[in-house]
Amino acid sequence: AQKITQTQPGMFVQEKEAVTLDCTYDTSDPSYGLFWYKQPSSGEMIFLIYQGSYDQQNATEGRYSLNFQKARKSANLVISASQLGDSAMYFCAMRESSVSGGYQKVTFGTGTKLQVIP
């Protein structure tokens, strides 16, 4: 069963507007972490933001915020004031740990291609 679901293969947003990229997840692990990464055409995965399953507040990093709704198992990324340089693939990912915490396994979604229009 797919653990990370990104239902938007592609999105368009006008420059300076805000955009929300959707992500839902499935896990039975009580302790997990959720990440968003940006992948430009160059290929490097750039870490954007992290939300722990026990964090009470939504994570924010500059123009990025993560809308964490635990009961709905969703972790949407909100990008405010979009810039042309935001055009890239965006991946949602989830970290699950072993019972002993001796490792972590990160599962990625299929990604959303965001294009910012001037």
Name 24's bridge partners.
5, 74
Per CB under 8 A, does 47 bind another protein? yes
Q: Which CB atom, from 42 or from 118, has the smaller least distance to another protein?
A: 42
CA distance 72 to 98: 24
Per CB under 8 A, does 50 bind another protein? yes
For residue 111, the number of C-alpha atoms closer than 13 Å in the C-beta half-sphere is 12
Q: How far is the CB of 82 from another protein (least distance, A)?
A: 22
Per CB under 8 A, does 27 bind another protein? no
Q: How far is the CB of 70 from another protein (least distance, A)?
A: 19
CA distance 50 to 93: 10
Per CB under 8 A, does 105 bind another protein? yes
Beta 10-14 vs 64-69: how paired, if at all? unpaired
Footprint of another protein (CB under 8 A): 4, 33, 35, 37, 42-47, 50, 91, 93, 95, 97-98, 101-111
